[in-house]
Copies of this chain bind each other. A is one copy, B any other.
Amino acid sequence: MEILGIFKALSDETRLRILKLLEGGELCVCDIVAALDTSQPGASFHLCVLKEAGLIRDRKEGRWTHYRLEDSDMFRRFLLLSVMERAEGGVFEKDRVRLGVFLKGKEEGCKGLRPNEGR
């Protein structure tokens, strides 16, 4: 049953955190690992569950995999919106901060490099 898989995917805090992060736009796995401060296989596992449930999409580019929200149908769109609105607490804010720091660090590393020369 499709709907059961969707609710199961949404019934885990780590996965709600990932969805909230993706609200800000596409992210690669290492961004998510940095933001959640968790293990890389752990993040991959949860991303897989979310993808199977049709809540996120992936896009491969070189050695990176970028994930973004999949809200092409009404039901999923509503659920994702609900997560954005109703998922609250310090965890999400902290994730957002860690992500910011990490992304900033990435930018710094690229200073002075020409396109396609970065990490």
Closest to A86 in B: B3
Tell yes or no: A45 within 8 A of B by CB. no
How many monomers of this chain does the complex have? 2
Closest to A13 in B: B4
Tell yes or no: A2 within 8 A of B by CB. yes
Check if A11 sits within 8 Å of B1, measured CB to CB: no
* A11: contacting residue among B10, B13, B16, CB under 8 A: B10
Closest to A3 in B: B86
Tell yes or no: A59 within 8 A of B by CB. no
A1-53 CB contacts (< 8 Å) to partner B = 1-4, 7-8, 10-13, 16
Count of chain A residues with a beta carbon within 8 Å of a chain B beta carbon = 19
A83-102 CB contacts (< 8 Å) to partner B = 83, 86-89
Check if B3 sits within 8 Å of A82, measured CB to CB: yes
Whether A11 contacts B7 in the complex (CB less than 8 A), given A78-B78, A82-B75, A86-B75, comes out as yes
**Could you tell me the distance in whole angstroms from the C-beta of A65 to the nearest C-beta in chain B?**
25
- Among A11, A75, A87, the one with the most B-chain Cβ atoms within 10 Å of its Cβ is A11
Residues of A within 8 A of B (CB): 1-4, 7-8, 10-13, 16, 75, 78, 82-83, 86-89
